[in-house]
Copies of this chain bind each other. A is one copy, B any other.
Amino acid sequence: SVNPDLASERQTASFSVERLTALLDGGAEQTRIRRAVVEAIESDPVFSRENQYFQTQNERYEAAVRKAVHLQKKMHEMGWTENGPEYKYIYRALSGDVAFLLHRVFMRSISVLGSDKQIAKWIPLATQHKLIGSYAQTELGHGTYLQGLETTAVFDTATQEFILNTPKISAMKWWPGDMGRSATHTVVFAQLYIHEKCYGIHPFIVQIRSLQDHSLCPGITAGDIGPKMNFEHIDNGYLLLKNVRIPRENMLSKFCEVRPDGTYVRQGSQKINYFTMTTVRISLISDEVLTPLMKACTIAIRYSVVRRQSKLKPGEQEAKILDYQTQQEKLLPQLAAAYAFYFTNDYLQELFNRGYREIQRKNFDMLPELHALSSGFKAVITQHCTAGVEICLRACGGHGYSLLSGLPSLYTKILASCIYEGENTILLLQTARFLIKCFMAASAGQPVPPSVTYLAAVKHGKCPAKNKLDFLSPDIYIEAYQHVAVRLTSNTAAKLQDLIQSGVKKHDAWNQCTVQLVQAAKAHCHYIAVKNFAETVEKLETKAGIQKIMKHLCDLFALHGIFSNTGAFLHDGYTSAAQMDMVTASYLDLLAVIRKDAVPLVDAFDFTDKSLNSALGSYDGHVYQRLYEWAQRSPTNQMSPAYERYLKPLLHNTLSKL
């Protein structure tokens, strides 16, 4: 039976939930396949996550390894292959709670960076799990700045080997997943030295553990880096290399080769490497960033119609907390953002596919734009979604703070996405560099990539809105976002030029503009997200109420962005104070409109209770029972030695000297 407070929310849905789910999945057939994968995974007790919140880091690691091994069996059993349509749903169905994710990165790096011969040797070994791979790039002292890596690989012509070393503590590899306890092999990034000349960073395949008994290989010191804010299931590791010798053939040599005599040969284009980073940044958005926000919205919104607290009207029953404007203002913009970025992700995927086709034709023209967009959106989406999950958590009050709500672990996990695969500030500055370059080019009448042509058309007009309803017109708000993005980019470009003209050195000038450059990059991404959402809505079918509710969400996303950042829009008078009051009025009106469909809108995400793993977010809404039953199973309800040891002597006054 469903909690009546939740059931009533579903009865009044203005649209077909099933159709919206299919839309998000990319068709009803995809929905069917996804559900079949979820069903197969969730009905298998080995994949259960129900004790997750009670487990230690060691227990989590062990379970993740067990799951990874069992998954091989499961895939075989179910006939799922890496190229099949089910594959992309497996990770989501497991909620990422599985080991050996770096094994895939190990394989990909060999496929991308290795010669045909290397691919032929290593990929079958990896596929058959005759080894477990990792990827050792980051060092204790070096993250974002790859050129600064300190690990060395010295070529010894006498033995035809590379000698790998960790020259100092800051050069220790640190963070690589699967490396702390599992991996037998890893790809080590090191400074290549031949005849005492440094050739920069190159990748080397290094065996770190015995294939017989898993003991560490000679010269290898490795282990686990210890507790983290989340990712307890992953054995992020450290690695120290001391005169570790590997054969010449172990340097991945698609692009660079060291000949037996020590001759260094560079071959082919490395541009494809940048494309790899782009791939990773785009691919993480869906599973690691959007899914957690969608789950958090589901949990918090369902809870907010079941939780009743205080009275809205004297004499009435206590009100559902979602009926309070402040609660709507916390949660509904997060819901709108989840949809907005879902569609942004589609946009990026499409752009990426187009880029990939071009690259296969040896046309690398799209790379700078792709790099700028994938960097900027990785930063903006991870930042926005992380903040969104935190808002959802807080909006559930005390119960949100219990691990059993599922929200704390969603938060502590998504937070990492702001840091890994490029720290967000660094990424935004890369986007900003692209923007400034394009702005300069556009100003000089040169052609620029499609996503930034708008920079050429600086208009000094005013927002034409006359009443609050005008702000529900996408043309009006898209134009406003565009105006802000242009203004921030052009103003910062001007500041940069002024500084340089006044004698400040170029790099100092850049540093003095970085706070504003970050703002410009964010504004650019925000503008594109709003524009893309509006364009997506326009193309939707009008049937089954889908387009109408998506239009409301698009408006909310756009107006929330203006409402939360009024200064950017007011600054040069493009938007007047009176217009800003209209934005506020329309924004607050929209909250009340979308509130009515809030539960159906999260239902459409189609998460099962097992995938939410939350006492607050279940489909049936029986929150209190679930919290109580779950808490009783906690190890903290087992007998503690604290009573006999400390409490009894205290209460019985038998503590010595007291």
Which residues does A use to contact B, with CB under 8 Å?
53-54, 56-58, 61-62, 65-66, 68-69, 72-73, 76, 128-132, 138, 140-145, 148, 169-170, 172, 174-175, 180-182, 184, 211, 214, 223-229, 235, 238, 307-314, 318, 323-327, 329-330, 390, 393-394, 397-398, 400-404, 408, 412, 415-416, 418-420, 423, 425, 429, 505, 507-508, 511-516, 518, 565-573, 577, 580, 584, 588, 624-625, 627-628, 630-638, 640-643, 645-651, 653, 655, 657-658
Contact = CB atoms under 8 A, between A and B. Distances in A.
A418 to B, nearest CB: 6
A259 B580 CA distance: 61
B312 A507 contact: yes
A312 B507 CA distance: 6
A440 B53 CA distance: 51
B145 A325 contact: no
A142 B477 CA distance: 41
A347 B66 CA distance: 57
A226 B402 contact: yes
Nearest to A210: B651
B229 A429 contact: no
Contacts of A631: 223-226, 238
Contacts of A398: 138, 143, 174-175, 419-420
B325 A515 contact: yes
A325 B65 contact: no
Contact of A211 (B69, B418, B571, B651): B651
Q: Which 7 A-B pairs have the closest CB atoms?
A: A566-B567, A226-B634, A567-B567, A224-B636, A227-B403, A229-B408, A145-B310
Interface of A is mostly: helix
Contacts of A148: 309-310, 318
A262 B58 CA distance: 59
22 contacts: A57-B635, A57-B636, A62-B642, A69-B646, A129-B653, A130-B651, A148-B309, A169-B624, A174-B627, A184-B651, A223-B632, A226-B636, A227-B404, A228-B401, A229-B403, A229-B412, A235-B636, A325-B511, A326-B515, A400-B419, A401-B419, A572-B577
B226 A54 contact: yes
A402 to B, nearest CB: 6
A309 B143 contact: yes
Contact of A658 (B76, B508, B511, B569): B76
B412 A397 contact: no
A501 B553 CA distance: 31
A401 B415 contact: yes
Given A181-B642, A515-B325, A655-B69, A144 B310 contact: yes
Contacts of A309: 142-145, 148
Contacts of A61: 636, 640, 642
Given A226-B631, A228-B401, 11 more contacts: A62-B640, A62-B646, A76-B658, A138-B398, A142-B309, A145-B310, A214-B647, A224-B631, A227-B404, A397-B423, A566-B566
Contacts of A132: 647, 650-651
Given A72-B655, A650-B69, A401 B54 contact: no
A394 B412 contact: no
A138 to B, nearest CB: 7
A174 B632 CA distance: 12
Contacts of A72: 650, 655, 658
Contacts of A318: 145, 148
A634 B131 contact: no
Contacts of A570: 566-567, 570-571
Of the listed residues A224, A226, A570, A634, the one surrounded by the most CB atoms of chain B closer than 10 A to its CB is: A226
A586 to B, nearest CB: 13
B402 A53 contact: no
Nearest to A656: B73
A62 B641 contact: yes
Contacts of A324: 511, 514
B224 A637 contact: yes
A599 to B, nearest CB: 20
A159 B447 CA distance: 92
Contacts of A227: 53-54, 402-404, 634, 636
Nearest to A425: B326
A317 to B, nearest CB: 10
A73 B651 contact: no
Contacts of A429: 326
A224 B225 CA distance: 31
Contact of A512 (B397, B403, B588): B588
Contacts of A184: 651
Nearest to A172: B628
A230 B375 CA distance: 33
Contacts of A170: 624
Contacts of A129: 650-651, 653
A66 B401 contact: no
Contacts of A140: 624, 627-628
A68 B640 CA distance: 16
B397 A58 contact: no
Contact of A69 (B174, B224, B408, B649): B649
Nearest to A309: B145
Contacts of A314: 507
Contacts of A650: 69, 72, 129, 132
Of the listed residues A68, A228, A505, the one surrounded by the most CB atoms of chain B closer than 10 A to its CB is: A228
A391 B62 CA distance: 33
A382 to B, nearest CB: 11
A50 to B, nearest CB: 13
Contacts of A567: 565-570, 580
A25 B182 CA distance: 50
